[in-house]
Structure 1
Amino acid sequence: MRSDPATSAVPLRGLGGLLRSSEPVRAAPAPSAAALLLEEAADLLVVHLDFRAALRTCERAWQGLAEEPAGACLEVKCSLCVVGIQALAEMDRWQEVLSWVLRCYQVPEKLPPKVLELCVLLYSKMREPGAVLDTVSAWLQDADNQGLPEYRALAELHLQRVLLPLGCLSEAEELVAGSAVFSETQRLDALQAISTARQQQKHAQSGSEETQKLNQEGSSSHRFLSLLTLLRQLWDSAVRHFFSLPFRKSLLAALLLCLLVVRFDPGS
């Protein structure tokens, strides 16, 4: 019995339309070993909440990526890093995140924008933005990265979450002035934020200097009062013994008392 040609062609529409009888049917490529491990790691992370096992699975997948073509594993490699970052954060091992992803990509300039963004947000939230300062600066200075569509968002994130909180105002001005990705409005807003941060920095420094000066003055006053107390004690002691001594010894005691006053008087 002959089959209906229209009926037999229906299951093949998803492959790009009707196929001729002489054209082979192209099967979907089988997922790689690293991709299967990525699915397993995500399942361990989200469903089972086994963060340690998820991290170990990501590291096993890394080893398999070395045997696959570089272009075919970029997305898988990035996704493995995202899962690993989340697993480390859940285990309160967030300090290891940056070194962990750099083990995978070797140099900061090769980090995917998404991975770098997660690192900045994580360390900024934990109030340790200085940990990613050099990494993000190296990434932004790389010529290949400057053409990526995510470059402007990362530059703004670096400005707001790293440079300004750290007080790196000169570096912030260089970033805004030297990058062509900012619009004129964004540039003016960024410069205004830098100016505000500089004023706050000056106020903080002047307040610190004033506090230090007051502390020094208080310490000097305390030393002066202590000196007056010591001199009064010496004077009282000298007066008590003055009349009990012969005249010659009284002169000697008075001379010694004058020497003590000269010795302990800072003005002399």
Structure 2
Amino acid sequence: MKNDPSISAAPLRGLGGVLRSSEPARTVLTPPPAVALLEEAADLLVVHLDFPAALETCERAWRGLASGAQAEELAGTSLEVKCSLCVVGLQALAEMNRWREVLSWVLQYYQVPEKLPPKVLELCILLYSKMQEPGAMLDVVSAWLKDLDNQGLPEYGALVDLHLQRVLLPLGRLSEAEELVAACAAFGEEQRLVALQAICIAKQQQAQELPGSEEVQKLTQAGPFSQKLLPLLILLRRLWESAVSHFFSLPFKKSLLAALILCLLVVRFDPVSPSSLPFIYKLAQIFHRIREAMFPPLYRLPVRD
């Protein structure tokens, strides 16, 4: 996604906190190989914009972390280093327009969604939401939020709100959203009211769209013949609504004249006898008399028996 401005590393860096070459030095005086590779990957991503090399460097660092010696050597900083490697790697994938691989790439190192760091999970939600595929994160975030260990983290409330706004509401999962807000102990009263108000607005929008969707659903369930007629019926309905709105937008006199002309056309071209339409036929006669009174003919044709 190097040339695609729709998703860039800039907003992700602000959230993910890509480590600069100077930051790991604060953690350990003599950086082990994994930390050195993290520095190299961050420089490749931010400074050199070499995204494939940054991704390959992150994967090389992860392979090094898999060894027991490296895990013991990093002891207290291994979790932070792993998280930072994931942040750099997912940003590199996004820049190469390989954002669909981000979730599977991250999970191959953490195995289960419950073990994802909050920072990595937040970036994944934002990325898939920005690319308009929030459904990819539905099961992953739900599993993470249900984990008891994660519920004690300080980032839990923010991730609940992010999941609500970026995943559940766009997908129309309103009942799940209400249950999540009611069960979230990390929400304060004000935050809970704001979340419930957002759900209420989403319900109103869904109710406005519901009548049309119910009609489509009924026609779809009626059978294959109705499914073939469905596009035609929708088109006719739109044409009718457009004609009615245009008709009512006309002035009263023009509307009355249009109605009279329409009645004349119906009477003139109806193959059935005019007596079958007494009201329209009388209206046509009245209109004809008014026309003769206002515009008398210059001459009349002789009437033959």
Distance 2:207 2:142 in 1: 25
Q: How much identity, in percent, do the aligned residues show? A: 74
* Structure 1 counterpart of 2:298: none
1:47 counterpart letter in structure 2: V
Distance 1:216 1:51, change over 3 A: closer
Distance 1:217 1:198 in 2: 27
Between Structure 1 and Structure 2, whose CA radius of gyration is higher?
1
Distance 1:45 1:211, change over 3 A: same
Identify the match of residue 149 of structure 1 among 146, 154, 176: 154
Q: Tell me by how many angstroms 1:187 deviates.
A: 1.1
Distance 1:104 1:211, change over 3 A: closer
1:53 counterpart letter in structure 2: A
Identify the match of residue 133 of structure 2 among 128, 147, 156: 128
> If the length of structure 2 is used for normalisation, what is the TM-score?
0.60
Q: Tell me by how many angstroms 1:218 deviates.
A: 6.9
Distance 1:177 1:212, change over 3 A: closer
Distance 1:218 1:92 in 2: 39
Aligned length: 193
Structure 1, unpaired ranges of 5+: 1-27, 223-268
Q: Tell me by how many angstroms 1:184 deviates.
A: 1.1
CA deviations on 1:193-235 (whole Å, 9 max, x unpaired) are 112111211221212335678976976xx9xxxxxxxxxxxxx
Identify the match of residue 205 of structure 2 among 192, 197, 200: 200
* Structure 2 counterpart of 1:73: 78
* Structure 1 counterpart of 2:245: none
CA deviations on 1:124-145 (whole Å, 9 max, x unpaired) are 0000000011111111110000
Q: Tell me by how many angstroms 1:96 deviates.
A: 0.4
Aligned runs of 1:5-84 on 2, under 5 Å? 29-67=29-67, 68-69=71-72, 71-84=76-89
Q: Does 1:91 align with 2:107?
A: no
Q: Tell me by how many angstroms 1:71 deviates.
A: 3.9
1:55 counterpart letter in structure 2: L
Distance 1:72 1:212, change over 3 A: closer
Q: Tell me by how many angstroms 1:85 deviates.
A: 0.8
Distance 2:231 2:113 in 1: 50
2:32 counterpart letter in structure 1: S
Q: Tell me by how many angstroms 1:185 deviates.
A: 1.4
Task: With a CA cutoff of 8 Å and minimum separation of 6, indicate the structure with the bigger relative contact order.
Answer: 2
Distance 1:164 1:210 in 2: 23
* Structure 2 counterpart of 1:250: none
3-state secondary structure, aligned to 1:48? coil
Q: Tell me by how many angstroms 1:84 deviates.
A: 0.3
Distance 1:176 1:206 in 2: 28
Distance 2:210 2:107 in 1: 37
Q: Does 1:179 align with 2:223?
A: no
Distance 1:87 1:216 in 2: 45
3-state secondary structure, aligned to 1:149? coil
Distance 1:73 1:206, change over 3 A: same
CA deviations on 1:159-198 (whole Å, 9 max, x unpaired) are 0000000000111011000111111111122112112111
Structure 2, unpaired ranges of 5+: 1-27, 220-228, 237-305
Runs of 4 or more, structure 1, over 2 Å off, are: 69-72, 207-219
Distance 1:195 1:182 in 2: 17
CA RMSD of aligned residues (A): 2.1
Distance 2:154 2:128 in 1: 23
Distance 1:161 1:47 in 2: 31
Distance 2:29 2:36 in 1: 13
Q: Does 1:119 align with 2:124?
A: yes
